Structure 1
Amino acid sequence: MSSRGPRAECADRGSTGWFDDLFGRYFARVYAYAVTRVGSTLAEEVASETFAIAWRRRDVVPDVPLAWLIGIARNVIREQCRQALRQDLIAAELHAWAAASPPVTGDVAELIVDRNVLLRALAALPEGDREVLMLLGWHGLSPREAADVLGCSRPALAMRIHRARRHLDRHINDAARDPDPGSEGDTDE
């Protein structure tokens, strides 16, 4: 009787050897599946996330795991598509708000960042940065509450806030330099 039969494999699932074997046998096939669905640019990310899930759920990985792994990869791809769609919808909504708001004029414009510029800058941020800033600024959460929502420590949140503010400042400066991105090439003179 072989010592590497299904029961022995199940017993070893807490070891990295079991995972190394699973990864070595099936990564290329999961990667190939991902390439056919999302292209080579995202395929490695999908395959890596699939195996991270397999490690976390090692107690339920079947003895013949290929179909299960491909099912996990399919779900990872579906979730990535949902996240991309959500981000696109949020960005479109922020751009629509920016387009609908009248420009601020006069002295007030010199004292505050134009709502239009801010909304365009928020729309340009990566979702993680936008979420941090919106939790604190728009939803009024305290740093402790925001850290709880994001599932991170307060020091990690402080780093995320710092990074998000840097990115927002950069996008505000870019948006302020080009106040009307839809008017490129238009002249009123």
Structure 2
Amino acid sequence: MPVRECPLPGHCHYPDIVRYSVRRTADADAAADLAQEVFVVAWRRRDQVPDNCLPWLYGVARRLLANHRRAQHRAPLTQPFADLLRPAQADHPDSVAALTDLATALDQLPDIDQEILRLIGWEQLTIEEAATVLACSHTAAKVRLHRARRRFPAALSLTVASRPAAASRPAAASRPAAASRATATSRARPMTPLTNGADHGQQ
């Protein structure tokens, strides 16, 4: 496997690693610190960094996060996806509610299911790249993704069903219910990779 021979392997991916980290933490400063740790590891192991280094860097970040979680007695590190988009969606309560439901449902899944859905849905990795991050085979990654996508709709249905009745109704009474449903559906589409089988590189 070819290796990179630049002074700081993968340095151009620093913003990607920060985004990866901040999506899994509630602290932007901690995410930046973690990204720095990732590149310290990359520097020390620069002779092992592959040409396509981003999945490798994600794998390092994932292991460092796991170490920090163990050190903090598995304190929650996942920032809800709805919180990440809240500034852009603040004027659309129905859209924020839909994103909150998606984040809540995702949190109900086993850790490995959550991670592969995030890698495919958030980081837009292929199955092969996700397998590199998870340190597993291409086949194992496909099986994990298939299993996670089967479990996610059930978790989402349970989340929606458990909401208080008032929270389930559209807040804006001025527009027809059908239009509200159509709008909420269209705004939820960015998360469809969580359940849509047509991911990058799955075939």
TM-score by length of 1: 0.42
RCO higher in structure (CA 8 A, sep ≥6): 2
Task: From the CA coordinates, give the structure whose radius of gyration is larger.
Answer: 1
